[in-house]
Chain A
Amino acid sequence: MTPTGPELAIAERIAKAREPLLIRGAGTKSGMLRPVQAATTISTAGLTGITLYRPKELILSALAGTPVVKIEETLDDHGQHLIAEPPDLSALFGTEPGTQTIGGIVATNLSGPRRVAWGAMRDHVMGIRAVNGSGEVIHSGGRVLKNVTGLDLCKLLSGSHGTLAVITEVTLKVLPAPETTGTVVIVGLDAERGVAALSAGLGSPYGVSAAAWLPDATVLPGLRLTGSATLLRIEDFAASVAYRMDRLRTDLTSFGQGEIVEDAVSRAIWRVVRDAHPLQAHPDEAVWRVSVRPSAGPPTLRAAIDAGSHGFLDWGGGLVWLAGAADIATHEAMAAIARAAHGTWTLLRAPEALRAAVQVVPPEAEALARITRRVKAAFDPRGILNPGRFVAGL
């Protein structure tokens, strides 16, 4: 398809650009990773609209600037949803809630609690259109649910933060939304016991779709609980949810008496977990997202607490949300803790000076870093798209 309108305009501006460009959607996650030094901004905010929606084919295409909430509303009208449950981190970043774009959430590959069971944003990107650093419009994938034709650029561009190409349109796999949801809550477990309960739940045949451990249950709306909260969610048809929650609670009795939370409250508490509210990050604090094997979550969190930070666990223990002092020493300590657990980290939020001074994601081994530089050049030979976003000088 020949580019037209705003996509063509973006392609022409990139082709003619002589200097670095800041690539953004609504800008709600501009505070992630390293700051980009660029005098000119290219925004996809003008590219809006759902371009194809076939509920019976489980496929939706939207231009990159389409707000995620707009897509969620449209899907909801047809009883469907975004599988990866993308978070809205506007409270963390101090940006306008509900404004983030679908291009932005794909470019950052941020996924919510359902990721542990149903995959990340990138797992459901079936097709992508993007403008590379030479101003060429390229596509990968398509509008079907299975596709192995050529290299999978849908994956490579998801999570690439606008450094390889400017995403202009995405095609997503969507699924029927569950009729109802429910949550089993066990209070008072320490992180180790909590994650053991989460592992038991995720290793059960009941289809647990989210599993989190919070140090302080008082952040959860609609519940009057104190102490830590171990949360396991079931989503399905109502009869199945009732049956499975009962079985799950019974199977987990060795961890404590679980309380069953019904649909509306269940939805509310997972929205809170999704958007990282249990982190209760002070505005002055930095925020890290650390991913480790689930059983390494509790020791990782403990080490972070010993180093003066605080946090909670999602993804069955594997996603460690951390907040702590926004200084180089604390960042180095959090990175070292993630490294020791053979995990990965992202400095999600910090003052610009700190983000510019440190490695915001783990450095790659030299053999891979060489490939990274060549792949970057393969898309953006002049190095003008979001330079320095991941790594200084790239």
Chain B
Amino acid sequence: MIQPDPKPDVLARRDVIVAGLATLLPPDGLITEPTRLKPYETDGLPSYRQVPLAVVLPETTEQVAAILKFCRDNGVRVIPRGAGTSLSGGALPLADAVVVGLMRMNRILDIDYDDRCALVQAGVTNIGITNAVAGQGFFYAPDPSSQLACMIGGNVAMNSGGAHCLKYGVTTNNLLGLKLVTIDGEIIDIGGAHLDAAGYDWLGLLTGSEGQLGIVTEITVRILRGPEGARAMLAAFRSNEIAGACVDAIIGSGIIPVALEFMDRPAIHACEDFAHAGYPLDAEAMLIIEVEGSVAEQDRQLAQLSEICNRFDPISLKVSQSPEESLAIWKGRKGAFGAVGRISPDYMCMDGVIPTSCLPDVLRRIGEMSDACGLKVANIFHAGDGNLHPLIMFDANDPASFHKAEIFGADILKLCVEVGGCLTGEHGVGVEKRDLMPVQFAPHELDQQRRIKSAFDPDWLLNPSKVFPLQASHTA
């Protein structure tokens, strides 16, 4: 991967820039020592690293505004960062850039149960919102796997999803308002605690814009009352094709499970070895299906789902009888990344989306690619919405292995686009898929997006070298 050259004038003025930033922040809010900069050199995509020029940790929106204005006036590139959990390198620094870390803006400012919303700062963790409202039976719906660590500001930037978004939607469907700081240092309120602001849908445009348009410091999220209860079942099948047909039958029946997760044989084995969740090791494919409601409603839906699964000659069918059994069923799936990490020194988590009907064919072709390049892959799939997460196993200490993994990953994503899907469902383009954007968009379509970027950030200082292919990204 190629990154843009640092601006020589910025590097030359490093001391002046650092001194200027110091005047805008509390004394401990500026990091410049190499050893303390080191943790910021990468994010959830550790294959790529670059120590930034400096890290700033503002505590208020006004400080963020002052920092951005200073950076604009001095032509300094800016890398917004939440918890640094991006799987697409969304927070990867540049050598001449200032990382703006939002982790100190970690307060929940208001919770309103009557109006079912909460006002939170960008550095609040995803689970922190749910924890704050769980006592009243409420929750914040999008639940990315990293939810213990990842921050809501990063969720907004990447439009994060999760296992339960088939029913509840992704981040963009669960927001009401934002406080945006522009590169000019202006503070703009978008939306509020009400639905559907008149005028252009800035809320929709900003969500998932990957730090290209500004920095969001406060977010008004919708909170939802949780269901009476939830329960999971597990169904294992003899082939990917059969499991795929069963997914079709479930959706066709009119039931929308709150979660519908698919794991292939390598994923089942990795998760079972790691979590001892009781997964059937003789299965080629496995579904985890979760339903919600009262106990009677759960029983009825699970019976109906069991009846559907039974039409597909399952190897095993296990309906949870208790919250503990449901947790056991989820335990393996939720530990999937750790499980794969245990059997391979390194792995890359891909994030393509495909039309669900293409699943068996796509898994077969991924298997062929895996055989051809000699790298193992385990597939985890949000089956209801077509979001496929192949985990490619490689050895980062072996440059040839890493190179093969990059090519394998790109080939999978190209295949996703070829069958009618897209490059990324919930992780974002970041730096990882930047150069694949022309697979999905024509040059004039990328130019259209670049012009929008330029409308917010004329000098391309915000999170540069992400999202858009590098060659023309500074000329729009």
Contact = CB atoms under 8 A, between A and B. Distances in A.
Contacts of A361: 198-199
Interface string B143-174: 00000000000000011010001100110110
A147 B195 contact: no
Contacts of A160: 200-201
A159 B386 contact: no
Contacts of B455: 371, 374-375, 377-378
B314 interface: no
Contacts of A199: 114-116
B434 to A, nearest CB: 11
A368 B114 CA distance: 30
Given A151-B209, A240-B293, A318-B195, A144 B420 contact: yes
A146 B426 contact: yes
Interface string B190-210: 101111111111111101110
B451 to A, nearest CB: 4
A44 interface: no
Contacts of B117: 293
Given A202-B225, A343-B192, A368-B188, A175 B256 contact: yes
Given A156-B200, A159-B200, A291-B197, A136 B451 contact: no
A237 B297 CA distance: 10
B135 interface: no
A205 B227 contact: yes
B72 interface: no
Contact of A123 (B173, B252, B256, B355): B173
B29 interface: no
Contact of B201 (A58, A122, A140, A176): A122
A183 interface: no
Nearest to B184: A367
Contacts of A148: 158-159, 170, 208, 424-429
Interface string A133-169: 0001011111111111111111110111000100000
B431 to A, nearest CB: 14
A205 B225 contact: yes
B137, B421, B455 — which one has the most chain A CB atoms within 10 A of its CB?
Answer: B455
Given A204-B225, A342-B192, A243 B297 contact: yes
Interface string B251-273: 11011100000000000000000
Interface in A196-212: 196, 199, 202-205, 207
A155 B226 contact: no
B248 A109 contact: no
A152 B204 contact: yes
A58 B260 CA distance: 14
B300 A239 contact: yes
Interface stretch (B281-289, B315-323, B441-449): B441-449
A342 B177 CA distance: 12
A322 interface: no
Interface string A88-104: 00000000000000000
Nearest to B115: A293
B119 to A, nearest CB: 11
A59 B188 CA distance: 35
Contacts of B424: 147-149
Contacts of A207: 227
B429 A149 contact: yes
Interface stretch (A112-120, A214-222, A223-231): A112-120
Nearest to B174: A119
Contact of A55 (B166, B197, B252, B354): B252
B387 A146 contact: yes
A119, A164, A204 — which one has the most chain B CB atoms within 10 A of its CB?
Answer: A119
A318 B197 CA distance: 12
Nearest to A150: B449
Contacts of A123: 169, 172-173
A43 interface: no
A160 B424 CA distance: 26
A367 B201 contact: no
Contacts of A153: 205, 448-449
Nearest to B204: A155
A164 B200 CA distance: 10
A368 B200 CA distance: 11
Interface string B355-366: 111000000000
A318 B115 CA distance: 9
A246 to B, nearest CB: 11
Contacts of A147: 353, 422, 424-425
B212 interface: yes
A152 B200 contact: no
Nearest to A294: B115
A393 to B, nearest CB: 15
Contacts of B421: 142-144
A371 B182 contact: yes
A78 to B, nearest CB: 9
Nearest to B355: A57
A139, A145, A345 — which one has the most chain B CB atoms within 10 A of its CB?
Answer: A145
Contacts of B212: 151
A291 B195 contact: yes
A111 B195 CA distance: 11
A295 interface: yes
A379 interface: yes
A344 B445 contact: no
Nearest to B428: A148
B90 to A, nearest CB: 11
A79 interface: yes
B193 A293 contact: yes
Given A155-B201, A243-B297, A146 B193 contact: no
A138 B444 contact: yes
B241 interface: no
A158 B200 CA distance: 8
A55 B165 CA distance: 19
B9 interface: no
Given A138-B444, A145-B386, A146-B425, A291 B114 contact: no
8 contacts: A132-B448, A141-B422, A145-B384, A146-B426, A151-B467, A295-B112, A295-B114, A378-B455
Given A115-B195, A146-B165, A293-B194, 4 more contacts: A56-B251, A199-B114, A240-B293, A343-B192
Interface of B: 112-117, 137-138, 158-159, 161, 165-166, 169-170, 172-173, 182, 184, 186-190, 192-205, 207-209, 212, 225-228, 248, 251-252, 254-256, 293-294, 296-297, 300, 353-357, 382, 384-387, 420-429, 433, 437, 440-441, 444-446, 448-449, 451-456, 467
Q: Which 7 A-B pairs have the closest CB atoms?
A: A155-B204, A374-B455, A378-B451, A361-B198, A146-B425, A176-B254, A367-B186
